[in-house]
Amino acid sequence: MPTLTANGIRIAFDTAGDAKSTPVLLIHGLGMQLTNWPDEFVDGLVELGFYVIRFDNRDCGLSTKFDSAGKPSLVWSWLKSRLKLPFKPPYGLEDMAGDALGVLSALGIARAHVVGVSMGGMIGQILAARHPQRVLSLTSIMSSSGRRGLPGPTASARHALLRAPADPKDVDSILDQAVAVQQAIGSPAYPTPEKQLRRRAARSLRRCYCPAGVTRQMLAIAGAADRSALLQSIAAPTLVIHGACDPLVPLACGEDVAAQVPGARLEVIEGMGHDLPAQLNERMLALIDAHARGKMAFDSTPRLFVKQ
């Protein structure tokens, strides 16, 4: 896996498609590696004529780990954030946006379409607002503005995300926990078979396992400022995609992002949770393609995907 140096750290990345085609930068979410992007999603973007760039966020995959920062107490930091007491995470979402910008610069990409999922959507929002000259369009998927007062995860989703494996040193226990998380936050109308979830989790585990890094990424989210004012400065055409059944980042969060970004379009997908199920791959690709090419009518849905 190739790596590059950007924003003072080592970042693992991968590309697909013709480098002369229009670039799309994919930014994944909490603890997710570049290999967690579904192959059929990446292949679909390439078939549509895009040059796809993926990378491991800091503290996950094969990119630089911030082990010197240790594993801060998530509970104590969360309590501080709820009580509006100051706390300083090892790094912030602004730093992670700097990483994404550094990837583009290191690869000689002047401007790109940016697609971010969950935490990646937050990073993409910052990138679009802070560096408008580098972003052709923004697609923010199942993400949030971080505005205080927005609803948080359901109790079951929060419990699944924060629960540790029964035996942190046992591979099967780690895989059991990974599968349980995906089942808790996944799309109820588009379930992914358990065997497939386990294969994906095993693939990720073989490549990298860094639970402390996931905790540090969580703290970056918890310590982030309200981005409402920042979103209002985004000039890039923006598409917001959100599942109606998202238990981790509820639909109200996506609605808020769309309301804050001038001219943003909101696409709500019934039955979708907090994942990228294979059954929605064609729909996602159609939406992103139409958005990136400026061919999306304001209030239309591709006929193929109209629910009968």
CATH of the domain at 14: 3.40.50.1820
Question: Distance between CA atoms of 288 and 56, rounded to whole angstroms?
Answer: 21
Listing from the earlier edge strand, what are the strands of the sheet with 112-117?
3-6, 9-16, 50-55, 22-27, 112-117, 135-141, 238-243, 265-269
Instruction: Assign 71 a pLDDT band (cuts: 50, 70, 90).
Output: confident
Buried b / exposed e across 75-107, counting CB within 10 Å, b at 16+?
Answer: eebeebbeeeeebebbbbbebbbbbbbbbbebb
Residue type, position 274, single letter: H
Instruction: Assign 88 a pLDDT band (cuts: 50, 70, 90).
Output: confident
pLDDT tens by residue, 171-195:
999 999 999 999 999 999 999 999 9
* Percent share of the chain, pLDDT over 90: 86
pLDDT tens by residue, 220-258:
998 899 999 999 999 999 999 999 999 999 999 999 999
The whole-number pLDDT of residue 308 equals 25
Question: Distance between CA atoms of 298 and 281, rounded to whole angstroms?
Answer: 21
**How many domains does the chain divide into?**
1
pLDDT tens by residue, 148-175:
999 999 999 999 998 999 999 999 999 9
pLDDT tens by residue, 109-120:
999 999 999 999
Q: Which domain holds residue 90?
A: 3-305
The whole-number pLDDT of residue 81 equals 63
Instruction: Assign 80 a pLDDT band (cuts: 50, 70, 90).
Output: low
pLDDT tens by residue, 279-308:
999 999 999 999 999 975 544 333 223 332
